[in-house]
Structure 1
Amino acid sequence: MLERKKIAAFIAGMLLCACTAAPAANVYAEDTTDSSAWGASPETSANEEKKEDKNTYTLSGDFLYSTTRDGTICIEDCKSTSAVLTIPEKLDGIAVTELGRQAFGSDPENNTFTEISLPSSINYISDENPFIYCTKLRSITVSEDNKDFFSEEGILYTKDRDRLVCYPCKKGGNSFKVPDSVKELGTSSLYNAGIKDITLPSGLEKIGAFALADLTEMESVDLSGTKVTELDPYAFSGCSVLKEIKLPITLEYIGGGAFAGCKELTEIELPQSLEEIGQYAFVNTGLTAVVIPDSVSNISYCAFGYYTDEDGNITANNSFTVVGSPNSAAHIYCTDSDSDYDYQNSFVFLTPEEYQEKQDLLALDRIKSGDFEYAMISTGAVLTFCTSTDSTITIPAEIDGNPITKIYPSCFTGTMAKEIIIPDTVEEIRELAFFNCSELKKVVVPASVKKIGNNAFDKCTALEYAEFCGAETVGSQVFCDCTSLKTFKAADTIKEWNDEEPFIYCTELEEIEIDGNSGIYRSENGVMYSNDMTVIIAYPANKADKSYTSPSGVKEVQQSAFANCKNLESVKLPDIEVINAYAFEGCNKLSSLVLSDKLTTLGSDALYDCTSLKSLRLPESLTDIGACAFGYYHNDNADTQNGEAADAVVEGFTLYAPKDCTAYSFAKSAGMKVVTGTTRFFGKNVSSGFVYSLAAILGAAVLAFAGILTGKTVKKKKAENAAAKRKAHSAELRRQRREAEDSTDKKEDDTIE
């Protein structure tokens, strides 16, 4: 998959350069990649697979040709320098049936053809349009006997007129109405045609690559009445004065670079039918914001928010705004990254409601007062901008006698203050309010503030201490790229935090403290949990402890909860049943992980890049395992260009698991070492047979010891019984002796008397 992406990226880059600097013809002249990679028709004739070695071609007069599988001729090149070119019915006695992609040469600057005539024998013309090299072409004619192609007013169509093949670029005329029968505009079919106004038929279904590119006088185009489902790559690229385009409700795909270089295009409404947007689709346009419908499931990199800088590099505009639903493709695109291409998006994300509010804000009357700019709404004054250069900024509780109740988006963006003091009149901090306050070290949000918007402190790279004294609703990526944050404190008032990984970018975080347990979170020993202590929410990435054991009753590890922890070496999770995606990603010191026998789920990349974790025991209960869940790391040195996978198995990794369980199968399919028939004994993985034998030995020893104890007890009891008998016997003898003595004494007394 990655390899295909890189190939596509290379082609897209080449095409992008071409569409902004040279005619499309040059692109095709150098491109030897499969045309389907950039959008040419996949139904290309098998005869389009040309031999690279031109020594196998045959030169006949001005024409260089190859032989098709049917034994006919395909013209591959033409050396003629005349203005009028007639393609012969036959060459060397063989029928000419096809025109290759460079049939009329590959030098657009020196191409001389103004008229081209095609014979009746032609039945196939390369889908990559060989006429694009004919930069002086005014007319194309076709023999009336041709069964596959048709010409009208010098314009080339397929015979049934359902596909427009080529509108000669020098035909002339400011306007053109495409015939109602046309369902497809072929590749480069109207490229650089000089048309200002074009009318498209209602039956149109597809617009090919470069089909309407470089129409440098066309200011608007209406597709809304068509049935177009696809805009192939670079379909409208280089339309430098295009200001308005209406897209149809049937559109599903916008190809890479489709609107690249449309510098005057400042807004566009994407239809609810749209599913995919290709790479570079809107690079170098005038767009500053775009609303992405929920129907879109895939946005390729650099699709929006990128431009070509003075050095010719494709550069991101970080102030570009993407509007969409939380957790949608639009949301993901805003922070999308890929180390293989060395890019990291950091665009502004707004929900439709927030975007509308922003638009409403722009319509408000702004008032300047000292270092602040504000506007009035029903609840009071809202701060909209701050120009202070002080190292400590104290926001006033009132401005011109009006209480300040809200801090609006981007109000403090770029401010160089180290501390900003917020008054207790403020009720809401909007999204991006403190974006890129790169010197800000400390912020205490008072209890009056109940809502904190998305990315509120995004890119506050010096921020070390943050405290929310009464926040109830917190947005997503509030601390994005707060790479110096060490301590976060909050009251137990939080009822909603719209972020599954709230501290993912806080690489220096040492402590999370929640004061109390009345909200949805609580903390224990600096770790953040759900209020009921069943879910681990976040473990500070720079917490000093080297070991961690989850408290009894904790059942789940939230996404990225331990991601990139710097110091953790040993973790025990005795009751955990679910470990979500990326949970321990990047914990490269983690060498010991003891999991519960009740574990059922291990999410994608849960243990990715845990390079010190050389062994792992997984239970039979584990049935849900995500991609690269364990045993993998990212190989930065992988030769991905030649098919080597970047996701590699950790060297020396061993899995201990029951045979044929889910984890066993996962590891085996990945080529990992798997050891079965073992159990964990005093922290070590040992053979189950050894344990059974040891248990038997211990059992016998216990029985023997019990026998000894029993023997001793019996002997003791016998001794006690004997002693008792001896004692009883002695007592009897003493009784008898006393009785005898008493009898003797009585006889003596009787004698005396």
Structure 2
Amino acid sequence: MFDRKKTAAFIAGLLICAYSAVPAVNAFAEEYLVEGATEATTSTDTYTISGDFMYSLTTDGNICIEDCTSTAEDLVIPDTIDGITVTELGKTALGKDHENSPFKTVTLPASINYISADNPFVYCTQLNTIKVAEDNKDYCAVDGVLYNKDKSELICFPSCKKEEGIDIPDTVKKIGASAFYNTVLLDIKMPDSLEQVEHFAFASTNLTSADFSNTKLEYLNDYAFTNCTHLHEVLLPDTVEHIGGGTFASCTGLDEITLPKNLQTIGQYAFFDTGLTEVIIPDSVQSIGYCAFGYYISASGQTASKDEAFIIVGKQGSAASLYAHDTDSDYDYKNNFSFLTPEQYEEKQLEMQALNSTRSGDYDYAVVDGQVALITCYSTEDVITVPDTIDGKKVDAIYTSCFNISCPASEIIIPEGIKEIKRRAFYECGNLKKITTPASLKTIGDNAFDSCKALEHVEFLGVENIGSQIFRECTALKTVKADGCLQKWDDDEPFLYCIALEDITITEGSGNYSSENGVLYNKDKSLLIAYPPAKPETEFIAPKGVKEIAQSAFIRAQNLKKVEIPEADVINDYAFEECTNLTEVKLSDNLTTLGIDAFYNCTSLKALHLPESLVNIGICAFGFYHDDDADTENDEDADKLIEGFKLYTVKDSTAYQYAKSAGIEVITGTTEVLGKNVSTGFLYTIGGIIAAFILGIIGVLTGKKLKKNKAEKEKAEKQEKAAERRKQRQEEKDEDTDAEDTDEEEDTLEDED
């Protein structure tokens, strides 16, 4: 859990020396500070002296300047020395006598393409301007400040540049090593683009505050702010994961800091000799180095002393609790700091405030920022209506344990005007069954209703932010309703312990959550967050568009027998754990991730189809149950295979290999049809038969159609011939009639004659 790398670099005496001069620091901290740099490793006996310069040759045959003895105030670096192109500046290229450096201006030629990562300008204690040839392809200077060409890195702000403030360009992603070392700057505006701060970047400056809150900062390197004695405020974004060794060492004015919630490592001596008297360590922190907190320079100025009253706040069993009592006999290192959990710490804070509390009727209260905070309720009523004012002052908040195990109320009515319910405010309020909050309430703290085991119905009106585990051990909770304005619920498993929960409702609104048929989703329903464990339905089909199933989303869903998740790509850890009645699951053909214990203890689930697309599978994701009778003391594994469980998947797929390695029976060459597993070979055979049958039917129908068409054609031909014969006979008859008429006319004429 701790970085136990012991080296002279972090011995307190040498650390103290670091505050007085950079050369001393570079001497003992070099192995940390230049790791990964491409410095020449040539020994001094291979260096060449030419005029004011000492140089070595690079692997390309060009010159790397290693030292300079010029006494000129305006130093111009030549582009060639002895006819060889100058391309690099080593870490002492501009000399190493920081007390007698004469340079006020340094001009770089176009040929320079590499400058030591340790910043050779740091020894130039009289420097006020850096210039760069306009046609240099790798570096540029703006108003005397050195940058790389695209201004993504600020390399050096001259230590004697007479300015009190600077707005760093929004192109800068990195502040180089010692970039602002020993400058007179009082104010530096950090750009939103900033991601990394290198060692000694702001060391020994006159900065009073450093605001990184809007940056993308991930890494604060060693000694970044060491010896900034005027620094009293530092704001860090949650993106910061690492605070290096000695980063804030000897920042004696720094008496308060909020550590980022995603912070993972804190280096040795990181907050050595600061004004801090206590610190809250986030749960995310995995490593805390030696003397990181609670130590200061002794009165003699030669050793590190321990602040016996220093308070460490963090999660029990975390890096914070281990650091509070860390020991190492080899180095006579032993911590015995006071350690408090967050709950204990807040209670301690309230106790301090309670020293000035006032009793009025059934309540103890304190005035905080002009508003009343309720500290303790003494009412014995079954239904308690919290007052909106006490002694003429408006009630604004309900503090930790205000309503606790001694409160007999089954219903508590919170009035309009209350804005915040603090952490554990109703902790172990054992008889509470119903609570409704007003529209004025905006924040509910962690564990607010923890262990309210009789609580059945909750309605949150107006709440925008909800902490973690607010319903821990609320085993009777049945319904939860929240306004659509809810923006943040800081809990990956908000209903983990609510085994009686039947319905979750989020009303329409502009927040980040929604619900459908009693199930909790994010706003656009791409993430299914929680399915009520006691929801009575036995079947569930996820709506189209659900791409992810959250951690523990269906955990202990006791009535579920059949589930279809047709489009989800990701199913997270514990998603269906202990769904003991689940017998049938249909997953997306595009599933890529199946988390740890995703279907653990699903003892009725005997088969599962997993697609070839699945590439990420967690431990015991399927096919396992927990054997309560396992002899774990003698190393018997309690994770056992479910008898008769079969996995259906594609041969040699990730799921296939996973199941084989776990001893799970795997069946390939099948597909699911109407809930049944059917061999693909059989399907091909059946498909061929069906195809042949269909073709036969088509042939028969085609033959019949052809015969019908032929008969119809013959009939038409006969009808046509009959019609022609009738026409012919008619024509012959007409001719005979005409002939008879002619004969009659001739006879008539003869008679007349």
**Offset, 1:295:** 7.5
Residues 418, 649 of structure 1: alpha-carbon distance in 2 compared, 3 angstrom cutoff: same
Residues 295, 663 of structure 1: alpha-carbon distance in 2 compared, 3 angstrom cutoff: closer
Which of the residues 418, 424, 436 maps onto 2:416?
Answer: 424
Structure 1 partner of 2:563: 571
Which of the residues 384, 407, 411 maps onto 2:398?
Answer: 407
Structure 1 partner of 2:363: 372
Q: Secondary structure at the match of 1:734?
A: helix
**Offset, 1:506:** 0.3
Structure 2 partner of 1:639: 631
**Hey, what's the Cα distance between the residues in 2 that align with 1:494 and 1:470?**
7
Structure 2 partner of 1:383: 374
Structure 2 partner of 1:587: 579
Deviations 1:210-236 (A, max 9, x none): xxxxxxxxxxxxxxxxxxxxxxxxxxx
**Offset, 1:446:** 1.6
Q: Tell whether 2:677 aligns with 1:685.
A: yes
Structure 2 partner of 1:129: none
Q: Secondary structure at the match of 1:563?
A: coil
**Hey, what's the Cα distance between the residues in 1 that align with 2:631 and 2:659?**
23
Which of the residues 380, 389, 397 maps onto 1:398?
Answer: 389
**Offset, 1:331:** 11
Amino acid across the alignment from 1:410: S
Structure 2 partner of 1:297: 286
**Hey, what's the Cα distance between the residues in 2 that align with 1:682 and 1:442?**
45
Q: Tell whether 2:397 aligns with 1:442.
A: no
Q: Please say if residues 422 and 445 of structure 1, whose CA atoms lie closer than 8 Å, have aligned partners that are also in contact.
A: yes
**Offset, 1:732:** 2.4
When structure 1 is superposed on structure 2, of 659-668 and 515-524 the one drifting more is 515-524
Deviations 1:378-429 (A, max 9, x none): 3521111101111100011211121211111211122121000000111111
Which of the residues 473, 481, 486 maps onto 1:489?
Answer: 481
Residues 364, 424 of structure 1: alpha-carbon distance in 2 compared, 3 angstrom cutoff: farther
Taking only aligned residues, the RMSD between alpha carbons, in angstroms, comes to: 3.2
Structure 1 partner of 2:598: 606
Q: Please say if residues 527 and 539 of structure 1, whose CA atoms lie closer than 8 Å, have aligned partners that are also in contact.
A: yes
**Hey, what's the Cα distance between the residues in 2 that align with 1:398 and 1:475?**
26
**Hey, what's the Cα distance between the residues in 1 that align with 2:340 and 2:314?**
11
When structure 1 is superposed on structure 2, of 539-548 and 717-726 the one drifting more is 717-726
Residues 441, 719 of structure 1: alpha-carbon distance in 2 compared, 3 angstrom cutoff: same
Residues 383, 532 of structure 1: alpha-carbon distance in 2 compared, 3 angstrom cutoff: same
**Offset, 1:747:** 2.2
Q: Please say if residues 347 and 400 of structure 2, whose CA atoms lie closer than 8 Å, have aligned partners that are also in contact.
A: no
Amino acid across the alignment from 2:557: C
Q: Please say if residues 274 and 295 of structure 1, whose CA atoms lie closer than 8 Å, have aligned partners that are also in contact.
A: no
Q: Secondary structure at the match of 1:749?
A: helix
Residues 369, 452 of structure 1: alpha-carbon distance in 2 compared, 3 angstrom cutoff: same
**Offset, 1:358:** 3.6
Amino acid across the alignment from 1:365: N
Structure 1 partner of 2:615: 623
**Hey, what's the Cα distance between the residues in 2 that align with 1:558 and 1:293?**
23
Q: How many residues align?
A: 437
TM-score, structure 2 normalization:
0.54
Structure 1 partner of 2:537: 545
| Residue pairs, 1:434-513, within 5 angstroms | 434-513=426-505
Q: Tell whether 2:545 aligns with 1:557.
A: no
Residues 730, 397 of structure 1: alpha-carbon distance in 2 compared, 3 angstrom cutoff: farther
**Hey, what's the Cα distance between the residues in 1 that align with 2:642 and 2:507?**
41
Residues 565, 349 of structure 1: alpha-carbon distance in 2 compared, 3 angstrom cutoff: farther
**Offset, 1:367:** 1.4
**Offset, 1:293:** 6.0
Residues 445, 730 of structure 1: alpha-carbon distance in 2 compared, 3 angstrom cutoff: farther
Structure 2 partner of 1:699: 691
Residues 739, 542 of structure 1: alpha-carbon distance in 2 compared, 3 angstrom cutoff: same
Residues 748, 469 of structure 1: alpha-carbon distance in 2 compared, 3 angstrom cutoff: farther
Residues 717, 387 of structure 1: alpha-carbon distance in 2 compared, 3 angstrom cutoff: same
Deviations 1:550-608 (A, max 9, x none): 11221110000000111111111111110000000111111111111111000001111
Which of the residues 648, 657, 666 maps onto 2:640?
Answer: 648
Deviations 1:90-129 (A, max 9, x none): xxxxxxxxxxxxxxxxxxxxxxxxxxxxxxxxxxxxxxxx
Deviations 1:38-71 (A, max 9, x none): xxxxxxxxxxxxxxxxxxxxxxxxxxxxxxxxxx
Deviations 1:319-373 (A, max 9, x none): xx994489976799xxxxxxxxxxxxxx996399x84994696267211110011
Q: Please say if residues 323 and 351 of structure 1, whose CA atoms lie closer than 8 Å, have aligned partners that are also in contact.
A: no
Amino acid across the alignment from 1:526: G
**Hey, what's the Cα distance between the residues in 1 that align with 2:691 and 2:552?**
45
Deviations 1:687-710 (A, max 9, x none): 221111111111111111111222
**Hey, what's the Cα distance between the residues in 1 that align with 2:697 and 2:317?**
65
Please list every run of 5 or more consecutive structure 2 residues that lacks an aligned counterpart in the other structure: 1-244, 247-264, 270-277, 289-310, 323-338, 746-753
Deviations 1:534-563 (A, max 9, x none): 111110000111111111221110000000
Residues 533, 724 of structure 1: alpha-carbon distance in 2 compared, 3 angstrom cutoff: farther
Amino acid across the alignment from 1:717: N
Deviations 1:148-198 (A, max 9, x none): xxxxxxxxxxxxxxxxxxxxxxxxxxxxxxxxxxxxxxxxxxxxxxxxxxx
Structure 2 partner of 1:524: 516
Q: Secondary structure at the match of 2:736?
A: helix
Residues 297, 511 of structure 1: alpha-carbon distance in 2 compared, 3 angstrom cutoff: same
**Hey, what's the Cα distance between the residues in 2 that align with 1:323 and 1:592?**
46
**Offset, 1:291:** 4.8
Amino acid across the alignment from 1:671: G
Structure 2 partner of 1:725: 717
**Offset, 1:290:** 9.3
**Hey, what's the Cα distance between the residues in 1 that align with 2:352 and 2:416?**
23
Amino acid across the alignment from 2:663: G
| Residue pairs, 1:78-117, within 5 angstroms | none
Which of the residues 695, 710, 720 maps onto 2:702?
Answer: 710
Amino acid across the alignment from 2:575: A
Structure 2 partner of 1:238: none
Structure 1 partner of 2:739: 747
Residues 523, 294 of structure 1: alpha-carbon distance in 2 compared, 3 angstrom cutoff: closer
| Residue pairs, 1:56-205, within 5 angstroms | none
Amino acid across the alignment from 1:460: C
Deviations 1:445-475 (A, max 9, x none): 1211111111111111001101111111111
Identical residues among aligned pairs (%):
50
Q: Please say if residues 346 and 400 of structure 2, whose CA atoms lie closer than 8 Å, have aligned partners that are also in contact.
A: no
Residues 330, 648 of structure 1: alpha-carbon distance in 2 compared, 3 angstrom cutoff: farther
Q: Secondary structure at the match of 1:519?
A: coil
Q: Secondary structure at the match of 2:720?
A: helix
Q: Please say if residues 323 and 355 of structure 1, whose CA atoms lie closer than 8 Å, have aligned partners that are also in contact.
A: no
Please list every run of 5 or more consecutive structure 1 residues that lacks an aligned counterpart in the other structure: 1-248, 251-270, 276-288, 300-320, 333-346
**Hey, what's the Cα distance between the residues in 2 that align with 1:700 and 1:348?**
78
Q: Please say if residues 522 and 528 of structure 2, whose CA atoms lie closer than 8 Å, have aligned partners that are also in contact.
A: yes
